[in-house]
Amino acid sequence: MGAQSTEISMPSQSKVLTLLRSLISIRSTTLQEQSVVDFLKTYLMQHSWHVHLQPIPDSSPTRHNIYAYRSKSETDNIRTNVKVLLNSHVDTVPPHIELSEDDETLYGRGSCDAKASMAAQICAVEELIEEGKIAEEDVGLLYVVGEETNHIGMIAANSLNINAQYLLVGEPTEMMIAEGHKGMIKADIVVKGQAGHSGYPERGKSAIVALVDILHDLQHTEWPSDPVLGATTLNLGQISGGVAANVIPEHARADISFRISTNAEQVAAQLRTIVEQPRTDGVHVTLSIRGMQNPVRCETVDVDGVEKFVARYFTDIPYLKGTQKPLLFGPGSILVAHSEKEFVKKDDVIRSVRIIKEIVQKLVHRAT
C-alpha cells in the first residue's frame, strides 16, 4: 500500500481525538456504563448508523450493549450478516479518573482500556466507507458492557445472532497484532484441619502447614507450554487462615489463577492430581475451579511496520460463540491500564486508525 493511501488528514486526526476525549470524559465503570452507551447511540445515529441497544438480562441497574450497522433499508429487521465485526468494551475499572492531557498524551480512566480502540475503530470504518474502499454492509460495530468483571455483555451478545466472518477486538496491544492470548483457570483451595493449643501441636492438625505444602508443590511443578503462546504460569493471589498465633489453625484458603497456553482441561487435571493427593491424616482438602477457558488463537494480518505478539491477559473473545475468526489490536499498553496514570499517546491513536483501516480492508478482501 503506497504512502498516499495510508495518510490520515488533519480533520481525521482531530475527529478521532475529539471522539476519544468525549468517551474518556464519561464515567463508565462497570455497572455504570449506560451514560457512555447513550452517548455512543447518539453519536453513531448522527453519523448514519442504525443502532440497536440490547438489554442485559437480569442486570441491575439496567444496562445495554450497543450494536450498530449501516443499511440503506429502513426495515425494522436488524442486519446481522457482516464480513467484519469490530468490537470492544465500554466499561472500565474503578475509580473513574477525569480526562487530562498534554501535547502528546491523553490521560484518564479508559483512555487505553479500551476507549481509544473504540474511537479508532469507529473513525476507521467510517473513513473506509466514505472513501468507497468497503461497502456499508461489510462491517458492524459491537460495544459491550461488563468485560472487566464477568463478561456478561459479550455473553448476552450471542443472542443477537450476528453472523461475522472476522471479529476485530480492540484492547491495548501496544500497536501490535496479537497471535493469540492465554486462557485461564481460577480456583480456590480450602483446607480444614483440627484446632488446638499451639503448645500441644500433636493434638491438632494445622491447615496452614498443609496448605503451604500444597502451594510448594504447585510452585515447583512444570506446567505445560506452547511454542507460540509460551509458558503456562501460576499466580498465588490470596492466602488466608488461622485465628491467632497461639492456636493451631483449623482453616486455610488460597485463591489461585493460571494463565494457560495449552489445553485448560489438561492443566486442570494436573492441578487436581497435585491438590487431591493423600496428605496428612485428619486434614481435608477441597479444590473448587471457579472458571476455566482455553487460550485463544488469533487470525493475523500483515501490516508494514506492525509487529506481532502474544497477549498474556484475557479478553471477551472466547465468550462470543460462532465461527468468526478473532483478531486483537489496539493502541495503548496493558501495563498502564487499570493504573492511576492510565494514558494513551495521541500519535498512537491517530496511527491506529490507519492500521485498523488496512486490517479491515484486507479482511473484507479475504472474506468469502
Same domain, 208 and 154: no
Residue 2: band (very low, low, confident or very high) from pLDDT cuts 50, 70, 90: very low
Same domain, 161 and 15: yes
% the chain with pLDDT above 70: 96
Same domain, 256 and 343: no
Query: What pLDDT is stored for residue 13 in this prediction?
Result: 74
Residue 5 reports pLDDT greater than 50: no
Same domain, 187 and 320: no
Query: What pLDDT is stored for residue 11 in this prediction?
Result: 59
Residue 3 reports pLDDT greater than 50: no
Number of domains, the chain: 2
Give the tens place of pLDDT for each residue, 310-355: 999 999 999 999 999 999 999 999 999 999 999 999 999 999 999 9
Same domain, 73 and 124: yes
Cα separation, 209 vs 196, in Å, equals 14
Question: Is 137 annotated as catalytic?
Answer: no
Catalytic residue (one of 126, 127, 147, 179):
147
Same domain, 202 and 214: yes
Residue 155 reports pLDDT greater than 60: yes
Query: What pLDDT is stored for residue 10 in this prediction?
Result: 53
- Phi and psi angles of residue 184, each rounded to the nearest 5 degrees, phi first: -150, 155
Strands 308-311, 177-181: parallel, antiparallel or unpaired by DSSP?
parallel
Residue 70 lies in domain: 3-180+296-366
Query: What pLDDT is stored for residue 1 in this prediction?
Result: 37
CA atoms within 13 A on the CB side of 49: 23
Same domain, 35 and 171: yes
Residue 251 sits in a domain whose CATH number is 3.30.70.360
Cis preceding linkage at 95, omega within 30: yes
Strands (E), the chain: 50-55, 64-69, 81-89, 100-101, 105-107, 139-144, 163-169, 177-181, 183-192, 196-197, 225-226, 230-231, 233-241, 247-248, 251-260, 284-293, 296-297, 308-311, 325-328, 343-345
Averaged over 7-13, what is the pLDDT? 57
Report in angstroms the alpha-carbon separations of 172 from 113, 200, 364. Answer: 6, 55, 23
Choose the final residue of a domain: 267, 293, 319. Answer: 293
Cβ proximity of 258 and 267 under 8 Å = yes
Same domain, 86 and 120: yes
Same domain, 287 and 333: no
Same domain, 322 and 362: yes
Query: What pLDDT is stored for residue 33 in this prediction?
Result: 98
Same domain, 344 and 246: no
Give the tens place of pLDDT for each residue, 229-278: 999 999 999 999 999 999 999 999 999 999 999 999 999 999 999 999 98
Choose the final residue of a domain: 293, 315, 336. Answer: 293
Choose the final residue of a domain: 275, 293, 311. Answer: 293
Same domain, 275 and 302: no
Residue 170 sits in a domain whose CATH number is 3.40.630.10
